[in-house]
Structure formats: structure tokens, C-alpha cells
Amino acid sequence: MMELQPNADEIIDIQGPADETLFWHLKGWLVRDHEDAIQQRLDELWEHYKEVQDERLLALVGALCIEASLDNLLSRFAPQYDVLLDNVDVPFSVKIGIARALSLIPSKILNSCDLVRGIRNDFAHNLGVSQFRELERKRLDKLGPYVRLFNTRERDGEDWPALYRDMIGFTAAELTAYALQIEALRDYLGTEEFRRHFKDHAEQSSG
């Protein structure tokens, strides 16, 4: 199980630089209110890759979990996003680009998505790559530092599959939690209260 409330040395750093994006940290009350739903989602994803031993399969399944988590996040903000996916083949790279353009969540999360996508592509498009140690060193050298951005527990820096598995878990957790915060924003934008406040703000600004 991917724990939402881990031990002290498993705490996930969910913050990004202040004011870099619309949301740069999570609201604790929102996470608490949806803790069970978040945990259930993470457990469902964890089931897909927790016991995968083949390293190519781990890379592919892990990337699918992250892409699905990113789809979930984008659909919470854009009500017609799922319709878009039904009618257009949107590459993983474009989905990451959309999320970057919206500037909704810390860039370190999307940087991790990019690294996962790159590793997935290396395995998917090169028959000569069947293990992580066969990847380009420049790709492998990013795994440890990227994982440490989320969690500082000491890890074996050469255990690439374990590092990748951890990065999938941490990235999925952040995407899942931020998706709820984005959904709360989207719901608020549709309320009469928001329309009234926006009207008042616009009138004060133009006055």
C-alpha cells in the first residue's frame, strides 16, 4: 500500500516555489476531508506495479499510472477534457505541456512526469534496452535527485527500479492530491458567490 500518512522519514514534500504556479502547496483540510478517496486511488495504482519484476514492464506500467493521474488532474479543471481524449490522440508529452501552460501545480511534479515519459520511451522504442542499467546515464542520474525532491530518506542510488518505483508513487500521490484542490477551484468558479465577488472586483478595478 502507498501510505498517505507515512512515517517521518517517508514524508512527501508536496510544495513548490511560492507564486510559481496557482497552487504551490496543498490545503491540509482538503486532503483530510478526502483522505480515504486519495488513499483508495493510490492503492488502485499501486496494485498495477507493486509486484512487477520485469523492468521494461515496470517502466511502461508506471508511466501509464502517471499518465492516468495527469489525465485525472486535467479533467478536474477542464470539464470537456475527457471529450477531447475521446476524439483526439493526445500524446503524453502534450498533456504535460498543457499542464505546464496552465501553471496550476509545482513544476517539479511535471518535471517528474517528463522523466517518467522519457524512461518509458527509451524502453518502448529500443529493443536493446530491457533493464534500467542499460538506459543512458544522463537519464539515470536524474532519478535519485528527482526522488529526493519529494522525500529525503536515504536510498540506494544505484537501485534504479526501486528509485523509479518510488518516483511513480510520489508523483501519483501529488497529482492525485492536487487534482482535488483543482476540482474545488473549478467548482467554486461555477458558484453564484464567485460571480458576485468577481463582479464586485471588476467594478472596483475599473472604477
Directed axis angle between helix 107-124 and helix 160-189, to 10°? Answer: 130
Quote the pLDDT of residue 205: 82
Residue of 21, 23, 47 lying closest to 172 (CA atoms): 47
Residue 164's domain comprises 17-206
Query: Alpha-carbon distance 24 to 172, whole Å?
Result: 16
- Cα-atom radius of gyration of the chain, to the nearest Å? 19
The one-letter code for the residue type at 44 is E
Query: Alpha-carbon distance 85 to 66, whole Å?
Result: 16
Query: Alpha-carbon distance 85 to 80, whole Å?
Result: 9
In a domain? residue 1: no
Residue 200 sits in a domain whose CATH number is 1.20.120
In a domain? residue 125: yes
In a domain? residue 150: yes
In a domain? residue 75: yes
In a domain? residue 4: no
pLDDT 10s per residue in the chain (207 long)?
444 444 445 566 778 888 889 999 888 888 888 899 999 999 999 999 999 999 999 999 999 999 999 999 999 999 999 999 999 999 999 999 999 999 999 999 999 999 999 999 999 999 999 999 999 999 999 999 999 999 888 898 889 999 999 999 999 999 999 999 999 999 999 999 999 999 998 988 876
In a domain? residue 51: yes
Quote the pLDDT of residue 32: 86
The total domain count for the chain is 1
In a domain? residue 7: no
Query: Alpha-carbon distance 97 to 110, whole Å?
Result: 9
Quote the pLDDT of residue 10: 53
